[in-house]
A = this chain, B = another copy of it.
Amino acid sequence: MASFFPAALENLIDGFASLPGIGRKSAQRLAFHVLSLPAEEAESFANAVLEAKRNVHTCPVCQNLTDGDLCPVCASETRDRTTVCVVSEPRDVLSIERSREYRGLYHVLHGALSPMNHVGPDDLRIRELLERVAQGEIREVIMATNPDTEGDATAMYISRLLRPFGVKVTRLGFGVPVGSNLEYADDATMLKALEGRREM
């Protein structure tokens, strides 16, 4: 029954189903939706896939995704070049930019250390970070990997590697999320929030 739909449609369903978080039924719905689109719209979607794959690459400095020579942050003349914020994924840069507070540069690792999933130091862009720090302009490195086991381990590992360079290494502050309800804070978060309390 798998080959009940025309081959080209089955192919498209398979394509959607291979994406993360999309099951067989959703893939079918998406494929039927694409078939129902005007030809130009379906083409522009297909082209968006090809263009993204063709034009988007990593910034040679910070390893974030970009379609230019440098990413907009590294290319900007107004950013503070003495501070680097280290994140796991490109989408984390967006989260930090949204705070409108941070004016430094970034470094994207493209993952976190995870022995379970066979992700070691060589699979991350750690060497590139050390090279940047070795150039001497950077004075503070903020470790903004995720506040979970893998993110913590990655931050710890990198902070040790950075010690010989004599730069200040900080970790993103942990605590209760703003706008949340204390009632729902988990034990670990509450512990961190208490440890990180500040005089007011």
Residues of A within 8 A of B (CB): 1, 4-9, 11-12, 14-15, 18-22, 25-26, 28-35, 37, 39, 42-56, 65-68, 71-72, 89-91, 93-94, 97-98, 183-184
Contacts and interface: CB of A to CB of B under 8 A. Distances in A.
Given A6-B55, A12-B48, A20-B30, 14 more contacts: A1-B94, A6-B67, A8-B55, A8-B67, A9-B56, A12-B52, A21-B29, A22-B30, A28-B91, A32-B89, A34-B52, A35-B65, A43-B53, A46-B46
Copies of this protein in the complex = 2
Nearest to A12: B52
B26 A49 contact: no
B8 A52 contact: yes
11 contacts: A1-B94, A4-B93, A6-B55, A6-B56, A20-B30, A21-B26, A21-B29, A25-B184, A34-B49, A43-B50, A46-B49
A53 B31 CA distance: 10
A18 B32 CA distance: 14
B94 A32 contact: no
Q: Is the interface of A mostly helix, strand, loop or mixed?
A: helix
Given A56-B35, A91-B28, A12 B49 contact: yes
A181 to B, nearest CB: 11
Given A21-B29, A97-B1, A183-B25, A35 B8 contact: no
A67 B7 contact: yes
